[in-house]
């Protein structure tokens, strides 16, 4: 699949690191380093603008290494880039650690997954079919 992209950053286009990678890393496009204090959030631009085909979305997800090692994640994970959005892809980052974190220009800050999606049409009814689970939710199936 080909997707139109404009790159206003000084970085290479996102790419898959391995043959089996689902996501492509997004890099910070900053004129100077940005310090993210504990529990602070910020939107970091990437310099990337895309044109997705209708029926597809791009999901902005955290990078596992940043989350596990530094407590840095994507606040609205996954963030959704809709097919009709033409603005810059931004990453809403949050620092969930107890230490300041410096975001540098070119740093890999998130990953982008392109995914097909369906559009739903609601069918209003008076009752739903029964299942063994029923109305059980929020941990009702246990932890083991």
Q: Hey, where are the domains in the chain?
A: 4-116
Q: What is the DSSP string of 84-102?
A: T--S--EEEEEE-SSS-EE
CATH class of 4-116: mainly beta
pLDDT surpassing 80 at residue 140: no
pTM, 2 dp: 0.90
What are the residues facing 25 on neighbouring strands?
111
pLDDT in tens, 56-71: 999 999 999 999 999 9
Contact 59, 115 (CB under 8 A): yes
pLDDT surpassing 80 at residue 77: yes
pLDDT band at 78 (very low <50, low <70, confident <90, very high): very high
């Amino acid at each position: 699949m080909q997707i139109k992209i404009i790159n206003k950053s000084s970085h290479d286009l996102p790419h898959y690191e391995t043959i089996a990678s689902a996501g492509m890393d997004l890099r910070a496009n900053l004129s100077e380093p940005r310090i993210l204090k504990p529990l602070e959030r910020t939107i970091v631009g990437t310099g990337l603008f895309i044109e997705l085909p209708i029926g597809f979305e791009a999901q902005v997800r955290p990078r596992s290494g940043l989350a596990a090692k530094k407590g840095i994640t994507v606040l609205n994970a996954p963030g959704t880039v809709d097919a009709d959005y033409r603005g810059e892809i931004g990453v809403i980052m949050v620092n969930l650690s107890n230490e300041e974190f410096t975001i540098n220009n070119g740093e890999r800050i998130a990953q982008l997954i392109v995914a097909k999606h369906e559009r739903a049409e609601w069918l209003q009814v008076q009752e739903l079919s029964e299942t063994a689970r029923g109305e059980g939710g929020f941990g009702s199936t246990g932890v083991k």
